[in-house]
Structure 1
Amino acid sequence: MTATIWWTIAGCTVVTALIKAFGPVVMGGRELPARVGGVIVLMAPALLAALVVSSALANGEHLHVGADTVGVAAGAAVLVLTRAGVLTSVLVAATLTAALRLLV
């Protein structure tokens, strides 16, 4: 690896540490307001949903709908409509994606 890559990794490490330290330093041991706590709790599911959508619809350079997109949609439908577990949903998504890729 080149020195540029290592400097980038080091820079990202320092910035991440600063960002994580920013909250406790600013709050100084005080309790968060209820509204702020509610927003923080909702950030993780929103970020996860954004990652899933971008992974399912991205083809490297542009948006693309393919077998993996259909698999993710089917897995989500199974999860929501049948209240099955996450493992069942992932298995349905993987099986459907593999079957569609085999056919196409």
Structure 2
Amino acid sequence: MIRACDVDDLPEGEAVRVLAHVPISVFHTEGEYYAIDDTCSHQDASLADGWVEGCFVECPLHAASFDLRTGKPTCLPAKRPVRTYPVVVSDGAIYVDTAVQEMTA
């Protein structure tokens, strides 16, 4: 597991980018925390820089949208999902379990 940040450092509706084996975005939305690959599957853009609405993030480059719960794209131009990672909150810090990767087909 890697430490992403303190809970207090990630306000509702925001994201933080962390480096692991690949860049990962951690989002705080609707009272939950989600972690997905940071790089859009359509083109090289940081999803942490995107717009969060509910459980979805819109890529800042070409407006592809991804479901933070599943990693699945919800509209074009993205056609491939991004990996999701389990998030654990412990002692006021947010951790991402990078050993467990989920890829939905």
Give TM-score, length-normalised by structure 1.
Answer: 0.27
Greater RCO, CA 8 A, separation 6+: 2
Q: Of Structure 1 and Structure 2, which has the larger fraction of its residues in strand?
A: 2
Q: Of Structure 1 and Structure 2, which has the larger fraction of its residues in helix?
A: 1
Give TM-score, length-normalised by structure 2.
Answer: 0.27
